[in-house]
Chain A
Amino acid sequence: MSNTILKVKDLRTHFFTDKGVVKAVDGVSFDIQAGKTLCVVGESGCGKSVTSMSVMGLVSKPGKIIEGSSIKYMDNELTTMSDSEYRSVRGNEISMIFQEPMTSLNPVFKIGFQISEVLMLHKEMTKEEAHQKSIDLLDMVGLSRADELVNEYPHQLSGGMRQRVMIAMALACEPKVLVADEPTTALDVTIQAQILELMNDLKSKTNTAIMMITHDLGVVAEMADYVVVMYAGRVVEEADVVTLYENPQHPYTVGLINSIPKLDDEREVLESIEGSVPNPLYLPEGCAFEPRCKSAIPKCKTQRPGLVELETGHKVSCFVIQEGQS
């Protein structure tokens, strides 16, 4: 695996609140390779967004990346970087597309200026060069009348157009890694299809590695090469996308996949996972999924399972599966 661009190892991001420590991310590891898409899936509150924020170095108080965590970009350790060092990486080498195109653009600046700003800062372009490049970028993400759009304000655009602007901005410096946090959740399906197509297109053109955060297993199937499933701050299963859908192992992954209504199934009753996600302040001592798990054994209550490789590239963190294997 020489193509590894970003290596996250044992990432722990905890939030020190008045009520106690919330272990939003608690020992997450994964690699991202050039030209590949890694999807991080999970339900709300499982720590997937905090993972992406940690990679971007955007975790703010009371949150803190705990010592011992490592995020390695090429050969640089990101967790120990100073703010100014980080700034030269962020937006330049690693950039991000946020979930809400409505709120993540600045409403009082013109589109063109917001894209130019990135270019002037990181690529030291002049104003004119940056302006021209912004037009090219808007063109690249499939927006017509790009030369007029640069002089418009975000409120003049629709949701899908704004998300395209966000993508143009994120790609301005030709980053090696693109972090996309639920990029299509706020959009309608027909618009979502356009944006996903665009991202796949750009990926093959620029060989950018994409880390995509989503809760939609349909989107995962469409986009991912490799998938990490998270539950309550930890990775419960990781595998390449085909293996994950055809041979899911962890009871949570199985439940998740079975509970999605599909367009082509005739089932009367959907399977569902009883109960709900545990309170992150009071996580169970053992496996976090144990209270909702149908196949739990006594050991699950007291001990935490580690991530064990079943076969090459397919890792599962579950005692029941691991013991069945050996």
Chain B
Amino acid sequence: MTQQPLLKVTNLKKHFPIKSGFFKKTVGHVKACDGLSFEIMPGETLSLVGESGCGKSTTGRTVLRLLEPTDGEIEFNGKNVNNMNKKELTKLRTDMQIIFQDPYSSLNPRMTVGEMIKEPLVEHGLYKRGPKLDERVREIITMCGLADYHVNRYPHEFSGGQRQRIGIARALALEPSFVVADEPVSALDVSIQSQIINLMNDLQKKMGLSYLFISHDLSVVRHISDRVGVMYLGTLVELADKKPMFDKPRHPYTHALLSAIPQPNPTRKRDRVLLSGDIPSPSNPPSGCKFHTRCPSVKEKCKTDEPMLKDLGDKHFVACHFPIEG
């Protein structure tokens, strides 16, 4: 691949301080995101999966600099995003957008759909208010599967699936090249969920978008992504193309995660790797490999040495001392 990556993240860290006491002294850090590196190619979908609290949403937001990174580098289109000032960032935002998880709380209840989509277009100076802008808004709305008479309605008049379509329309209004989708379908019913997934796939083809798709639902991820990264307690434990990841997971955590998903097929009972215990607290992660407390095949070395993300061939990266044989 000689192509330049659209987004390149190197050793990204985001630590949230825990403050306590009268003087709000920092007594520790929640290491939400602790040394992540990945790349996204133009037109590609990279998914980040993991359980709650593994830092996947934090990563999504830090990449957009909605949260300030503690350390590490973010490069977008060859430009360093870390030390951009406010003006440069504003310009950048036309190219990077986000779709939020909750279609109920992420739309302003006092704005009509039309105003919501117009706002970024006017704010970024792409259009002046007028018939041309109205025309553009209608175009975007119909592209996202809503009807043009919806323009003058308020969010409460829409169902969950329709609201998520509004969220998508708003994110895509500026014709970005990169969109972070933070659990865009997890609040929706299955029959609606598939509508939205199909819509996102269509739009990607039409507009050549790159997605960073954040989800806890591996079945959805399998559907939408080109590559998948599995996170555990703020670090990537496995990063690979979709097919090898799902067919032959190499990290014990990925393996357990895949086997834990209930399959809609009552006749096929698979052997399941049941993980015992809960996810450790990210403020006080275990030493060595962070997964060693729940790993079914833990060995002495795992308790002391932290494994690094290694390429096992074919760009299949795994952070494990004893990966499952491929």
Chain A residues packing against B (C-beta within 8 Å): 43-44, 158, 160-161, 188-194, 196-197, 215-222, 224, 241-242, 245-246, 255-257, 259-263, 267-274, 276-277
Q: Which of B190, B195, B258 lies at the interface centre, i.e. has the most chain A CB atoms within 10 A of its CB?
A: B190
B314 close to A (CB within 8 Å): no
Q: How far is the CA of A7 from the CA of B274 in the complex (A)?
A: 35
Q: How far is the CA of A263 from the CA of B222 in the complex (A)?
A: 6
B297 close to A (CB within 8 Å): no
- Contact of B261 with A215 in the complex, beta carbons under 8 Å: no
Subset of 5 A-B contacts with CB under 8 Å: A193-B275, A260-B264, A261-B220, A270-B194, A272-B192
B218: A residues at CB distance < 8 A: 189, 263
- Contact of A272 with B51 in the complex, beta carbons under 8 Å: no
The tally of CB-CB contacts under 8 A between chains A and B is 123
Chain B residues packing against A (C-beta within 8 Å): 51-52, 159, 161-162, 189-195, 197-198, 201, 216, 218-220, 222-223, 246, 256-267, 272, 274-276, 278-279
B220: A residues at CB distance < 8 A: 261
- Contact of A256 with B272 in the complex, beta carbons under 8 Å: no
Contact of A189 among B192, B216, B267, B278 (CB under 8 A): B216
- Contact of B262 with A221 in the complex, beta carbons under 8 Å: yes
Knowing A188-B216, A261-B222, A261-B223, say if A276 contacts B159 (CB, 8 Å): yes
- Contact of B278 with A260 in the complex, beta carbons under 8 Å: no
Contact of B198 among A192, A270, A276 (CB under 8 A): A270
- Contact of B264 with A218 in the complex, beta carbons under 8 Å: yes
Taking the nearest CB of chain A, how far is it from the CB of B55, in angstroms?
14
A261: B residues at CB distance < 8 A: 194, 197, 219-220, 222-223
- Contact of A259 with B193 in the complex, beta carbons under 8 Å: yes
Q: How far is the CA of A270 from the CA of B202 in the complex (A)?
A: 12
A256: B residues at CB distance < 8 A: 190-191
Taking the nearest CB of chain B, how far is it from the CB of A281, in angstroms?
14
A193: B residues at CB distance < 8 A: 259-260, 262, 272, 274-275
Q: How far is the CA of A270 from the CA of B189 in the complex (A)?
A: 14
Knowing A193-B272, A197-B274, A255-B191, say if A242 contacts B267 (CB, 8 Å): yes
- Contact of A191 with B190 in the complex, beta carbons under 8 Å: no
Contact of A218 among B51, B191, B261 (CB under 8 A): B261
B189: A residues at CB distance < 8 A: 43-44, 215, 277
- Contact of A191 with B278 in the complex, beta carbons under 8 Å: yes
A259: B residues at CB distance < 8 A: 190-191, 193-194
A215: B residues at CB distance < 8 A: 189-190
A44: B residues at CB distance < 8 A: 189
Taking the nearest CB of chain A, how far is it from the CB of B121, in angstroms?
28
